[in-house]
Chain A
Amino acid sequence: MLFDWFTIVAQALNFFILVWLMKRFLYKPIRHAIDEREKRIATALADADAKRAEAQKERDEFQHKNEEFDRQRAALWTQATDEAQAERQRLLDEARKAAASLSAKRQETLRNEQHNLHQAIGRRTQQEVFAIARKVLADLAETSLEERMVDVFVRRLRELSGEEKETLTSALKESSSPVIVRTTFDLSPAQCDSTTGAIKETLGEATQIQFKTSPDLISGIELTTNGHKVAWSIADYLASLETGIDELLKEKDQVEAQAVPKPSGPEPETRSQ
């Protein structure tokens, strides 16, 4: 017989048991494994997405920061450049001022030197002139310079014009003090007499005369009374000589200035002195 009811029931039972066994040992573990894996992959993907989003955010932030940094750098650079420019300008101005000051000082020094030189030349010239005059007078006329000086003074007193004499006389009358005769050297008694004579002859016999020696007076003799003066001095000659030397020096300076080559100009022609 093909049908066996006991076997049918037994097989149906067996099948349900097998269903349970398979569910228990096969489907559930497999499903569990697959679900876990899917969950893990989903978690990993979500994590990756989150990380990507975070990275994107960080990148944006960094980009923003970089731009900000660039802007700040540019601003600082501009500020630094401006400050450096201002500092340069200030230093240049200071240097110019210092140069101008130095130049002024140098010019002052040059002027002082020139002045000292003039004085030295004056003194030397005076000495030389005196020395030459003495020598010449001694050689030619066997007279001293002082003598000759007094002679010249006396002669000048006598040769005074009427107007001048009157001026001196009136000035003498107005003053109570005596006539003062200043010399750079001490007069001998003969010279004193000769001078006194000449004065009295010119201004009147009652004239009071006082002799004074004054080394400040540049090698000469002078008569003063109440602001009026009659004198002979080598100072006039010296002044004339000084004027001549000044002109000579000025001319020399001009020639030197022209001889100095200009920084950007064509080379100047040299002129023979």
Chain B
Amino acid sequence: MRLSPDEMIFWQYGFLKLNATIVFTWGLMLVLAIGSKIITRKFSTGLKRSLWQNFLEIVVTGIEKQIEEVGLSQPQKYLGFLGTLFLFVAASSLCTVIPGYEPPTGSLSTTAALALCVFVAVPFFGIEEQGVNEYLKSYVEPTFIMLPFNIISEISRTLALAVRLFGNMMSGAMIIGILLTITPFIFPIIMTALGLLTGMVQAYIFSILAAVYIAAATRVRKPSLNPIQNLEA
């Protein structure tokens, strides 16, 4: 039994390989990009607009609203990164209803890659907002002794991000696979529906946590935010 779509390799040359994770990711990327292109091609700037335009506008403005609520005052600046995180994770979960499809987020490599992106993005946005010195200073706050703990915190939360998403997605696929062998009729459908819900929740958690980390890095002087503890718990 496969634990990860990484194990399904279509083509390999040395260390270069084309596994199911990459292929499904490309598929998702194509669907998202082409779908967006098709829908936004006929966008109207007037008061009358299509159903799809309304839907996409609701999604995008909803994401912007969430980013703003977390504490980032300029949501448009972070929309590209955080919005894409959410859309990618959500789309890869939603597509589990397609038979034969395996979510790329069920691979630890993908979740680790996304977590690494967050790990890079947090200091990037922090430095961009405050400057190098101010950002680095935040690691020795409130005292110099806190430096190793802050560094450990950075690494551990990145690891936690990767493992949380991988665990949830992989477990969903595993449970469905196991249930299919035991009760092949009703339960897998219920569990698929539950998996969709879990996937959406995970997409929300992943992107919100990334937003919170970025917010913490860009607003380091402010007291620590409670939502981090609540969500990580």
Contacts and interface: CB of A to CB of B under 8 A. Distances in A.
B179 interface: no
B117 interface: yes
A12 B116 contact: yes
Among A4, A5, A25, the most chain B Cβ lie within 10 Å of the Cβ of A4
B83 A9 contact: no
Determine the main DSSP class of A at the interface with B. helix
A7 B6 contact: yes
Interface in A1-54: 2-12, 14-19, 21-23, 25-27, 29-34, 36-37, 40-41
Given A7-B19, A11-B104, A26-B36, A21 B29 contact: yes
Interface stretch (B20-28, B187-195, B196-204): B20-28
Among A7, A12, A29, A41, the most chain B Cβ lie within 10 Å of the Cβ of A7
Given A2-B108, A3-B112, A27-B79, A11 B21 contact: yes
A12 B113 contact: yes
Contacts, number: 119
B45 A11 contact: no
Nearest to A35: B45
Contact of B114 (A4, A7, A15, A40): A15
A7 B57 contact: no
Q: How large is the interface on A (under 10, 10 to 19, 20 to 34, 35 or more residues)?
A: 20 to 34
A203 to B, nearest CB: 146
Contacts of A5: 109
Contacts of A26: 32, 36, 40, 56, 60
B22 A7 contact: yes
Contacts of A8: 109-110, 112-113, 116
Interface in B66-119: 76, 79-81, 83-84, 87-88, 104, 107-110, 112-114, 116-117
Interface of A: 2-12, 14-19, 21-23, 25-27, 29-34, 36-37, 40-41
Interface of B: 3-4, 6, 15-17, 19, 21-22, 25-26, 29, 32-33, 36-37, 40, 43-47, 49, 53, 56-57, 60-61, 76, 79-81, 83-84, 87-88, 104, 107-110, 112-114, 116-117
